[in-house]
């Protein structure tokens, strides 16, 4: 066969690193989960006539293969040099309705498959479309720098000697039983992209201690520096200051390395954002969390994400964020809406803890999300802004919920 080989559309179901054979065509699909470099390459050494139907269960993906071939070899044998298909994470993500795209690799434009010489630059792919996308794209860069300073092997050794984690989920359940109100995850939050600086004289340890005294069940510590003016040093300092509440590392996780890092810095739980991560990534990260003794708060924003998360095994904590990723607008009826109907039924059946997140300011807000079915709330702005955050908690719940 000479000249161009027509574009082939290959429906391929990929379960694991696989080698598919069909006649003398072999398709090897490499799946490297480390760093989520989901890299699939298809290499053919094939005669001119071929058709490929490679199917395995679990993941349904569609690969588009296009290439050119040339006659190079002796005899009539056709050597199709190397056909390379790169299906970026985004293609899987799009199929799952994920709105947050991952950073396109610099060496090739986003989501493009096909021969290098035909690649186009796509401007839309080169810039983030909303704040969460911007944060996660920056996170990719930041994490690769941090990894060089703290290689995974060293982190794994540090984790072996780390003190045991505290029971994040248990603390929420106990608080709810103790107070009859949703357990409070109080957020140590200096600033945010939507509100700017919330507290000028920000002392994370002082705030954490005040939250604990005020009756918080758990604390959430923002570790992102660029957008929230947080830091891992805050997490570490709070942990080392003797605060007993379990700590959530509030990060934008895009890489398993971050989970190990969080564990070495004193986290008892991490946040996983369904808008950013595919189902497979969530499943994989949950396994890592379990292995490290960490709880995972899996955050959703809409019905579709809630449906996805309910289909993933082993999730105990689901956060419903009331803040729109596109507009920053906060609407607490989002929590109520996502807990109605079939999703709410499944959550109750599985005895999951739902955490109402963002935009909670008053006892009425707390009562509203509690009536909708939440067993915990994640609150930052309304309490961190108070000159006395301990009193801020009493104000938020309409009564003193401290242990004393």
Residues tagged active-site: 187, 189, 250, 299, 321, 357-358
Least Å distance, CB 149 to ligand LARABZUK, is 26
- In our burial notation (b when 16+ CB lie closer than 10 A, e otherwise), range 356-379 reads bbbbbbeeebbebbbebbbbbbbb
Least Å distance, CB 181 to ligand LARABZUK, is 16
| Residue 130 binds ligand LARABZUK, judged by CB under 6 A | no
Answer yes or no: are the C-beta atoms of 258 and 288 closer than 8 Å.
Answer: no
Find the binder of ligand LARABZUK among 42, 78, 80, 131 (CB under 6 A). 131
Residue nearest to ligand LARABZUK (CB): 380
Q: Which stretch binds ligand LARABZUK (CB under 6 A): 24-32, 306-314, 357-365, 368-376?
A: 357-365
Nearer to ligand LARABZUK, 359 or 392 (CB): 359
Nearer to ligand LARABZUK, 67 or 229 (CB): 229
| Residue 189 binds ligand LARABZUK, judged by CB under 6 A | yes
Least Å distance, CB 212 to ligand LARABZUK, is 18
Cβ neighbours for 73, distance < 8 A, ≥ 6 positions apart: 79
Answer yes or no: are the C-beta atoms of 35 and 257 closer than 8 Å.
Answer: yes
| Residue 379 binds ligand LARABZUK, judged by CB under 6 A | yes
Nearer to ligand LARABZUK, 113 or 223 (CB): 223
d(CA 111, CA 303): 26
Find the binder of ligand LARABZUK among 133, 357, 365, 390 (CB under 6 A). 357
Least Å distance, CB 403 to ligand LARABZUK, is 23
Nearer to ligand LARABZUK, 256 or 380 (CB): 380
| Residue 253 binds ligand LARABZUK, judged by CB under 6 A | no
Find the binder of ligand LARABZUK among 35, 109, 111, 193 (CB under 6 A). 193
Find the binder of ligand LARABZUK among 378, 393, 394, 396 (CB under 6 A). 378
d(CA 128, CA 192): 18
Taking CA atoms, 274 is separated from 97, 306, 321, 328, 360, in Å, by 10, 8, 11, 17, 21
With CB under 6 A, what is the number of residues at the site for ligand LARABZUK?
Answer: 20
DSSP characters over 323-366: B-TTT--B-THHHHHHTSHHHHHHHHHHTPEEEEES---SHHHH
Residue written as token pair 């607008």: 329
Cβ neighbours for 54, distance < 8 A, ≥ 6 positions apart: 10, 12, 13, 18, 20, 22, 27, 29
Answer yes or no: are the C-beta atoms of 249 and 269 closer than 8 Å.
Answer: yes
Residue 94 burial (10 A CB sphere; 0-12, 13-18, 19+): middle
Find the binder of ligand LARABZUK among 380, 389, 390, 397 (CB under 6 A). 380
19: left (phi over 0), alpha (psi -120 to 50) or beta: beta
Q: Note the residues at the interface with ligand LARABZUK (CB under 6 A).
A: 131-132, 187, 189, 192-195, 321, 323, 328, 357-360, 378-382
């Amino acid at each position: 066969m000479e000249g161009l080989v027509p574009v082939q559309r290959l429906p391929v179901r990929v379960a694991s690193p696989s080698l598919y054979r069909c006649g003398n065509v072999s398709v090897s699909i490499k799946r490297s989960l480390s760093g989520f470099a989901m890299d699939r390459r298809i290499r053919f050494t094939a005669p001119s006539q071929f058709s490929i139907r490679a199917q395995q269960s679990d993941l349904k993906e569609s690969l588009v293969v296009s290439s050119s071939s040339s006659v190079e070899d002796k005899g009539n044998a056709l050597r199709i040099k190397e056909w390379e298909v790169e299906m970026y994470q985004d293609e899987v993500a799009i199929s799952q309705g994920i709105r947050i795209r991952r950073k396109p690799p610099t060496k090739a434009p986003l989501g493009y498959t096909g021969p290098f010489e035909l690649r186009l630059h796509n401007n839309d792919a080169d810039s983030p479309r909303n704040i969460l996308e911007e944060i996660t794209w920056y996170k990719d860069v930041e994490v690769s720098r941090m990894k060089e300073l703290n290689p995974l092997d060293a982190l794994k050794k540090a984790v072996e000697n780390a003190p045991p984690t505290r029971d994040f989920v248990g603390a929420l359940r106990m608080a709810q039983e103790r107070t009859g109100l949703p357990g409070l995850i109080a957020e140590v939050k200096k600033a945010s992209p939507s509100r700017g600086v919330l507290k000028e004289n920000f002392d994370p340890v002082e705030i954490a201690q005040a939250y604990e005294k005020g009756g918080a069940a758990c604390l959430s510590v923002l570790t992102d520096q660029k957008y929230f003016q947080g830091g891992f040093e805050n997490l570490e300092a709070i942990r080392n200051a003797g605060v007993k509440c379990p700590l959530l590392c509030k990060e934008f996780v895009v890489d398993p390395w971050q989970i190990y890092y969080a564990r070495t810095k004193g986290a008892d739980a991490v946040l996983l954002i369904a808008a950013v991560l595919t189902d497979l990534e969530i499943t994989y990260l949950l396994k890592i969390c379990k292995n490290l003794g960490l709880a995972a708060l899996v955050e959703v924003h809409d019905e579709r994400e809630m449906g996805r998360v309910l289909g993933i095994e082993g999730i105990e904590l689901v956060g419903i964020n009331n803040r729109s990723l596109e507009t920053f607008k906060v609407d607490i009826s989002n929590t109520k809406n996502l807990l109605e109907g079939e999703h709410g039924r499944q959550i109750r059946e599985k005895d999951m803890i739902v955490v109402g997140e963002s935009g909670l300011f008053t006892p009425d807000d707390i009562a509203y999300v509690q009536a909708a079915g939440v067993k915990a709330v994640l609150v930052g702005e309304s309490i961190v802004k108070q000159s006395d955050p301990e009193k801020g908690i009493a104000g938020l719940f309409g009564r003193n919920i401290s242990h004393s």
